[in-house]
Amino acid sequence: MELFRIKRDIPFMSYGKLTTFISLATFIAAVFFLITKGLNFSVEFTGGTVMEVQYQQGVDVNQTREKLNTLNLGEVQVQALGTNKHILIRLPNKEGVSSAQLSNQVMDLLKQNNPDVTLRQVEFIGPQVGEELVTNGLLALGIVIVGIIIYLSMRFEWRFAVAAIIANMHDIVIILGCFALFQWEFSLTVLAGILAVLGYSVNESVVVFDRIRENFRKPAMRNHSVPQVIDNAITATMSRTIITHGSTEAMVLSMLIFGGAALHGFSLALTIGIVFGIYSSVLVASPLLLMFGLNRENISKAPKKKEEVVV
């Protein structure tokens, strides 16, 4: 399906050095913020108290969050569980205060304006559990990366695999850098969004790589240089890219705006990841193919002539 067709190939590869420099600069900036500021980990990673409360009548989540901030406990998370009658509250650890004392303080404060509020469940997450989540999260990220490398190496060639994984890691580091720069909360839902971005970005790279490989095998492209072949492949997929990413970004933005606190971190990671996923697939992965010395011999090898047996 094509929304429109571009008749002339866009010379993306002629800007390859510029886009590579921009990518390198943003990558270094993201690493700098990660080192200097670090990630603002949520209660799942740092440990804390998780409370589930129920109201007889609906309650405003934002007002509840503002009220709990008066306790000066730190970063307090408040989100609705399906309806605004069931509220989930996450509290960070506080030195010298037990989980039971924290929950009692919260309930006393909530009952001042809503005497009908009841505590359905309270759970304490220790620091050890947070360390396990960090370890398991890094393990999941590593397994996904290794799986992508193996898949692309089997389907294409090592140059494509290395270019794609560098471009994808570029996306991940930039997302993490944004969360470090603005000190947005890094939770399990954000980690899920990052893993989704990895798969989404790889899919875009595979589409472009497939078209590049097809172009090398077309008789009409035999007299074209490698940059021209890549430019033609990217230009040919532009309509598909705009339709796919435009519709996906519209859905993700709707989650970001209307999804509330529960989906905010997940949709924010996806919003940034989709934008940079398009950029990296077109203007990072493709120039890297040229840097790695991609040519026709790497993809389409000339068939060997059969020797005729003279009787």
Structure confidence by residue, pLDDT tens digits, 74-94: 778 888 877 788 888 888 877
Q: In this structure, what are the phi and psi dihedrals at residue 171, rounded to the nearest 5 degrees?
A: -65, -45
Residues 6+ apart with CB under 8 A from 215: 221, 224, 229, 230, 232, 233
Mean pLDDT, residues 46-73 = 85
For the chain, give the mean pLDDT: 83
- Structural domain that includes position 267: 12-40+130-298
pTM: 0.78
**Are residue 179 and residue 235 in the same domain, yes or no?**
yes
Q: What is the mean pLDDT of residues 263-272?
A: 90
CATH number of the domain enclosing 117 = 3.30.70.3400
Residue type present at position 167: A
Two tokens at 265?
A: 């971190």
Domain count, the chain: 2
Domain-located, residue 306: no
Q: Which of 110, 125, 140 is the last residue of a domain?
A: 125
Q: C-alpha distances in angstroms, 258 versus 26, 43, 189?
A: 30, 23, 16
Tell me the average pLDDT across 190-214: 86
Over residues 276-294, the mean pLDDT reads: 87
Same domain, 179 and 138: yes
Least confident of 20-24, 153-157, 220-224: 153-157
Sign of CA dihedral 273, 279, 282, 285: negative
Cα separation of 86 and 102, whole Å? 19
Name the H helices within 73-157.
99-110, 127-155
Rounded to an integer, the average pLDDT of 178-200 is 87
Q: Looking at the structure, do residues 96 and 165 belong to the same domain, yes or no?
A: no
d(CA 45, CA 27): 25
In the structure, what pLDDT confidence band is assigned to residue 173 with cuts at 50, 70 and 90?
Answer: very high
Domain presence at residue 64: yes
